[in-house]
């Protein structure tokens, strides 16, 4: 192919991506711009930084931001620890067993978040399933509703599939002979996972981590239904400002702060990906 | 080739623009209803009346008040809804923002039978469709003699008389600000006192509920003994369960309502639907199904229905304009102080 032909071919390729870009520009970037403008609007229609000063200059909102990030980190780490072995099992299984495992992992996504959260409330309730078992075993009952622990458990359940599927797809691409070679050279199964499999699956781990973190930091339904005032997260504050206080500028500012945090996390992922690729 | 692809893309874009273009006169009327039994009642009583009068079937959306007002704000010239169902405060805001059209007896003849009290705070931009009150649902076995008045209930909760088996609505629940306003009326308008009481009760409440479903589930599972809840559902629960009772503590309760309104720039057919909703037949049918009082003064409740409805004399209508601007501050105080 001539150089001119190659350029034309490339241009056609870019043109085909235009609908997707146009869609994102209208339905994603557009609302973000509107949101950004709203956050700087004052009562007289002028420009103000007051909403950001209010959010970032108040110890309460900073505490909520910190709690939101901490919850997302805990959910992400827990999903990674629980999801990695599951991803290995899926990557190594074949046929019906593999389909069954994938089905098990994906099932939580098929259930509406409100219904699923009510399910957890039934399990964690004072006279719920969990405490009934503890009572039956003559053990002390525990309180999980209204606690960070209960919320984190419920969130891990729904976000686990994103971690597992991201890692499993990377693990499937790893040459099985590398594992055999490590074993032949005397590595134990644990050492093989730590020194061979894990570094090679890092791309999947990073993708899963960013996905789970981003989804977790933006979710509020579980926190709203299972939490109390002492388990407040930023997205729930946004919801309150929009639906109860009708304070759109402040809601927009809180939403933009949340987006900024996710952008930092994504930038971190890109940086880690580049480092991983260089190795 | 690129030129041809561009043409295809622009044609598709043009076609899709037409598809999402403005609504036309023969579009079905779009009305709003709450879900569950409210939706069933809307279909059985209001939609059927509208179909009988016009031969057309309206589209019924089940969305909440904040979603309704946000959709109207987004498209004031070409609203996607013709008849709105709003919370009291959203109805005031929507009326002030020019999103609603004033109701009149000329356009809605049945409005003549709706007392002024159900629409004057809204300057006739909306009318109450049905109303209720927040009362006390309690476990008769655990608490044979529940407190007679609200202040005693609050003080005894603070003292720990009921353990932590009490649940009040949170300020961040949709009608929480109205309940807070009601409590301020009990404490001589002292907001600080009300928030202090909220704080003092915190160790001795199971939770401040935001989800009505969860609150009722907790009571039904006997995880709590006292629940401050909506009258219709509370009376219905007490009727079905011998161990439960429901009553209005002194000095009464605050009125909460569903507001019906004609959307500005919406279809003119909306007047017919609103007239149907306010007709005596549809109002009585609605009340029978949802177990809440309605507003048409011509309606006479059957005895057994009247027994489970909160009478108008027992409820106090909040003075919305006196506190609606305070709500953002109340929410902030609630979040920061009561935890």
Q: What is the pLDDT of residues B154-195, one digit of tens each?
A: 999 999 999 889 999 999 988 899 999 999 999 999 999 999
- Distance from C-alpha of B48 to C-alpha of B281, rounded to nearest angstrom: 11
Give the pLDDT band of residue B127 (cuts 50, 70, 90).
very high
pLDDT at residue A194 greater than cutoff 90? no
pLDDT at residue B5 greater than cutoff 70? no
Give the pLDDT band of residue B19 (cuts 50, 70, 90).
very low
Token pair 């608490």 is found at B143
pLDDT at residue A4 greater than cutoff 80? no
Residue B60's SS3 state is strand
- Distance from C-alpha of B301 to C-alpha of B309, rounded to nearest angstrom: 9
Four-residue CA torsion sign, B215, B218, B221, B225: negative
Burial tier of B134 (Cβ tally within 10 Å: 0-12, 13-18, 19+): buried
Residue B31's SS3 state is strand
From chain B, pick out residues whose CB is under 8 angstroms from the CB of A22: 13
Inter-chain CB proximity B223 and A125 less than 8 Å:
yes
Question: Best interface-test mutation with A: which of B172, B177, B215 has the largest number of A CBs within 10 A?
Answer: B172
| Chain length of chain B | 339
Four-residue CA torsion sign, B77, B83, B89, B95: positive
Residues A189-227: b if buried by 16+ CB within 10 A, e if exposed: eeebbeebbeebbbbbbbbbbbbbbbbbbbbbbbbbbbb
Q: What ranges in chain B are assigned the alpha helix state H?
A: 2-19, 37-41, 48-54, 65-74, 88-96, 150-159, 176-186, 191-201, 212-220, 231-240, 270-277, 280-290, 303-306, 320-323, 327-337
Cβ atoms of A83 and A167 within 8 Å: the answer is: yes
- Distance from C-alpha of B294 to C-alpha of B255, rounded to nearest angstrom: 12
Give which of B48, B46, B7 is closest to B282, Cα–Cα.
B46
Give which of B240, B248, B222 is closest to B132, Cα–Cα.
B248
Higher per-residue pLDDT: A144 or B83: B83
Inter-chain CB proximity A244 and B172 less than 8 Å:
yes
Question: Best interface-test mutation with B: which of A154, A246, A247, A249 has the largest number of B CBs within 10 A?
Answer: A246
pLDDT at residue B9 greater than cutoff 60? no
Q: What are phi and psi of B68, to 5 degrees?
A: -60, -50
- Position A114 scores a pLDDT of 86
- Distance from C-alpha of A166 to C-alpha of B95, rounded to nearest angstrom: 50
Cβ atoms of A145 and A121 within 8 Å: the answer is: yes
- Position A13 scores a pLDDT of 77
- Distance from C-alpha of B84 to C-alpha of B267, rounded to nearest angstrom: 12
Chain B residues contacting A via beta carbons under 8 Å:
1-2, 5-6, 9, 12-13, 66, 70, 93, 170, 172, 174, 176-177, 206-208, 210-211, 213-214, 217-218, 221-223, 327-328, 331, 334-336, 338-339
Q: Which residues, listed in sequence order, are joined to residue B60 by a DSSP beta bridge? A: B31
Give the pLDDT band of residue B15 (cuts 50, 70, 90).
very low
Q: What is the mean pLDDT of residues B296-322?
A: 91
Q: What is the mean pLDDT of residues A5-19?
A: 79
- Position A278 scores a pLDDT of 65
pLDDT mean across residues, chain A: 89
Point out the residue among B93, B222, B328 whose CB comes nearest to the CB of A247: B328
Among A184-188, B56-60, B278-282, name the one with the lowest average pLDDT: A184-188
Between A148-172 and A202-218, two packed helices, what is the crossing angle to 10 degrees? Answer: 150
Q: What ranges in B118-220 are assigned the alpha helix state H?
A: 150-159, 176-186, 191-201, 212-220
pLDDT at residue B265 greater than cutoff 50? yes
From chain B, pick out residues whose CB is under 8 angstroms from the CB of A146: 207
Q: Which helix (H) or strand (E) holds B100?
A: strand B100-101
- Distance from C-alpha of B157 to C-alpha of B166, rounded to nearest angstrom: 7
Cβ atoms of A116 and A157 within 8 Å: the answer is: yes
* Cβ count near B198 (within 10 Å): 22
Between B176-186 and B191-201, two packed helices, what is the crossing angle to 10 degrees? Answer: 110
Cβ atoms of A55 and A250 within 8 Å: the answer is: yes
Residue B278's SS3 state is coil
Q: Measuring CA to CA, how many Å separate B111 from each of A221, B98, B148, B276, B301?
A: 40, 21, 37, 10, 19
| Intra-chain end-to-end CA distance of chain A, in Å | 35
CA angle B186, B335, A34 (to 5 degrees): 120
Point out the residue among A22, A225, A229 whose CB comes nearest to the CB of B214: A225
How far away is chain A from the Cα of B104, in angstroms, using its nearest Cα? 29
Inter-chain CB proximity A224 and B210 less than 8 Å:
yes
Q: What is the pLDDT of residues B108-126, one digit of tens each?
A: 999 999 999 999 999 999 9
How far away is chain A from the Cα of B136, in angstroms, using its nearest Cα? 21
Point out the residue among A12, A22, A60 whose CB comes nearest to the CB of B1: A12
**What's the gap between Cα A249 and its chain centre?**
26
Among B4-8, B45-49, B71-75, name the one with the lowest average pLDDT: B4-8
Tokens at A172, concatenated: 């499937």
- Position A171 scores a pLDDT of 93
Inter-chain CB proximity B339 and A240 less than 8 Å:
no
Cβ atoms of B133 and B309 within 8 Å: the answer is: no
Give the pLDDT band of residue A279 (cuts 50, 70, 90).
low
Cβ atoms of A226 and A145 within 8 Å: the answer is: yes
Give which of B173, B170, B168 is closest to B64, Cα–Cα.
B173
- Position B213 scores a pLDDT of 83
Q: Which residues, listed in sequence order, are joined to residue B228 by a DSSP beta bridge? A: B136
Cβ atoms of A219 and A243 within 8 Å: the answer is: no
Tokens at A271, concatenated: 């940086």
Q: Parallel, antiparallel, or unpaired: how do β-strands B253-263 and B127-139 relate?
A: antiparallel
Q: What is the mean pLDDT of residues A258-274?
A: 85
Q: What is the mean pLDDT of residues B87-111?
A: 96
For A59, name the nearest residue in chain B, comparing CA atoms only. Answer: B336
Q: A residues 30-69 near B, CB within 8 Å?
A: 60
């Amino acid at each position: 192919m001539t150089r001119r032909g190659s350029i034309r071919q490339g241009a056609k390729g870019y043109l085909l991506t235009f609908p997707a870009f146009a869609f994102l520009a209208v339905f994603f970037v557009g609302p973000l711009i509107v949101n950004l403008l709203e956050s700087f609007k004052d009562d007289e229609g002028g420009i103000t930084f007051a909403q950001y000063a209010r959010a970032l200059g108040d110890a309460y909102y900073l505490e909520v931001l910190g709690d939101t990030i901490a919850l997302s980190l805990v959910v992400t780490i827990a999903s990674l620890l629980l999801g990695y072995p599951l991803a290995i099992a899926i990557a190594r299984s074949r046929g019906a067993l593999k389909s069954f495992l994938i089905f098990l992992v994906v099932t939580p996504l098929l259930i509406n978040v409100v219904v699923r959260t009510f399910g957890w409330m039934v399990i964690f309730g004072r006279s719920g399933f969990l405490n009934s078992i503890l009572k039956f075993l003559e053990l002390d009952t525990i309180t999980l509703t209204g606690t960070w622990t209960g919320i984190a458990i419920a969130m891990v359940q729904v976000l686990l599939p994103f971690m597992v599927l991201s890692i499993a797809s990377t693990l499937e691409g790893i040459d099985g002979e590398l594992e055999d070679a490590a074993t032949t050279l005397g590595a134990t199964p644990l050492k093989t996972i730590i020194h061979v499999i894990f570094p090679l699956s890092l791309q999947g781990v990073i993708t899963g981590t960013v996905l789970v973190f981003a989804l977790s930091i933006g979710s509020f339904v579980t926190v709203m239904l299972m939490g109390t005032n002492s388990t407040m997260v930023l997205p729930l504050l946004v919801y309150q400002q929009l639906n109860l206080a009708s304070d759109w500028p402040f809601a927009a500012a809180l939403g933009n702060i949340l987006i900024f945090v996710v952008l930092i996390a994504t930038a971190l992922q890109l940086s880690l990906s580049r480092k991983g690729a260089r190795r | 080739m690129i030129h041809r692809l561009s043409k295809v893309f622009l044609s598709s874009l043009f076609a899709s623009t037409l598809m999402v273009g403005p609504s036309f006169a023969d579009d079905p009327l779009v009305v709003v209803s709450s879900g569950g039994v409210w939706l069933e009642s809307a279909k059985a009583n209001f939609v059927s009346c509208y179909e009988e009068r016009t031969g057309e079937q309206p589209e019924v959306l089940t969305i909440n008040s904040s979603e309704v007002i946000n959709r109207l704000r987004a498209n004031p010239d070409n609203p996607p809804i013709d008849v709105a169902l709003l919370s009291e405060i959203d109805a005031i805001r929507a009326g002030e923002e020019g999103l609603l059209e004033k109701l009149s007896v000329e356009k809605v003849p049945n409005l003549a039978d709706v007392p002024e009290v159900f629409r004057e705070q809204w300057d006739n931009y909306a009318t109450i469709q049905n109303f209720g009150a927040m009362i006390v649902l309690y476990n008769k076995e655990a608490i044979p003699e529940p407190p007679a008045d609200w202040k005693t209930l609050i003080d005894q909760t603070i003292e720990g008389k009921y353990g932590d088996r009490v649940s009040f609505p949170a300020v961040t629940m949709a009608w929480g600000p109205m309940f807070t306003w009601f409590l301020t009326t009990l404490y001589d308008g002292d907001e600080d006192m009300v928030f202090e009481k909220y704080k003092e009760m915190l160790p001795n409440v199971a939770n401040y509920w935001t989800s009505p479903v969860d609150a009722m589930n907790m009571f039904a599972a006997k995880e709590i003994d006292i629940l401050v809840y909506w009258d219709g559902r509370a009376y219905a629960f007490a009727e079905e369960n011998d161990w439960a009772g429901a009553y209005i503590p002194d000095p009464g309760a605050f009125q909460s309502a569903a507001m019906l309104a004609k959307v500005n720039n919406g279809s003119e057919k909306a007047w017919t639907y609103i007239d149907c909703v306010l007709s005596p037949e549809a109002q009585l049918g609605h009340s029978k199904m949802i177990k809440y009082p309605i507003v048409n003064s011509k309606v006479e409740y059957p005895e057994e229905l009247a027994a489970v409805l909160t009478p108008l004399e027992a409820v106090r209508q909040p003075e919305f304009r006196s506190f609606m601007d305070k709500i953002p501050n109340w929410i902030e105080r609630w979040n920061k102080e009561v935890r």
